[in-house]
Chain A
């Protein structure tokens, strides 16, 4: 035991959270003993974060058409969705986007930027008791259209707005 205490103390020296260090050591043991394949399962059990997600494959799609195909979405334009994006943005790395849906039964809100290498930017779930409204900031690669997609009762409805970017957000 005395032999192992010195390197442990050294391991902790650089961190202000000893327990985090110990956890990392334990994780290391876990990897060695159980194999890397089991680890995601164990992590999932440890904390209730949703890592498995039906929308995940759409995030790897390289075009708007492919995003819609992977979501199995054929959206209809709707006036009941408000999408607020500036007409002109100087910095494509920080573009404010705000979406409000007045459609009954909205379950999910998606943000898509057509000019991005991976157009699907974000997805938000809207459980009962949460307003169908979200405001965030996204990166937009170049001038192009931003889409808000709202999923309700198995249907997808959308709103579109064009924005002009003077400095792209791709490299940011």
Chain B
């Protein structure tokens, strides 16, 4: 099982900054191991981010997104303690869902 998704969401100026880091190898399938065999492709294909029941971003990723995909985006609204949920599914059908809450601006 991959490591938990790291989520940082901070309310700021009437909006919310959302940083998401999803630990994942994002193998392209073009890489070879030391024995010279291709390493199987294995990458996140779909991401969905929901804040307080509202889908705020969906992403379709390819193998060309870097290892441990990082997303940073902004939404309008969002209040401290609103729940935020991030879900991904990868090319092997594995999935991971993690949750956090929006923090107040510091």
Contacts of A130 in B (CB 8 A): 56-57, 73-76
Main DSSP-derived SS at the B contact region = strand
- Given the contacts A122-B59, A137-B69, A51 and B46 also touching, CB distance less than 8 Å: yes
- Given the contacts A17-B1, A124-B59, A49 and B72 also touching, CB distance less than 8 Å: no
Q: Of A4-12, A75-83, A112-120, A159-167, which stretch is located at the interface?
A: A112-120
Q: Which residue of B lies closest to A140 (CB)?
A: B64
Which of B56, B64, B72, B87 is the one whose CB lies under 8 Å from A138? Answer: B64
Mask of B41-76 contacts with A, CB within 8 angstroms, 1/0: 000011010000011111111111111011111111
Which of A17, A20, A121, A133 is the one whose CB lies under 8 Å from B64? Answer: A121
Q: How large is the interface on B (under 10, 10 to 19, 20 to 34, 35 or more residues)?
A: 35 or more
Q: Interface size (A, Cβ < 8 Å)?
A: 42
For the complex, is B31 an interface residue (Cβ under 8 Å from A)? yes
B23 nearest CB across to chain A (Å) = 13
The 8 A-B residue pairs with the shortest CB-CB distance, nearest first, are: A135-B72, A137-B66, A131-B74, A121-B64, A123-B60, A125-B58, A139-B64, A94-B66
**Chain B residues packing against A (C-beta within 8 Å):** 1, 15, 28, 30-32, 45-46, 48, 54-67, 69-77, 87-89, 93, 95, 97
**Chain A residues packing against B (C-beta within 8 Å):** 17, 20, 43, 47-51, 53, 55-56, 59, 93-95, 113, 116-118, 120-127, 129-131, 133-140, 169-172
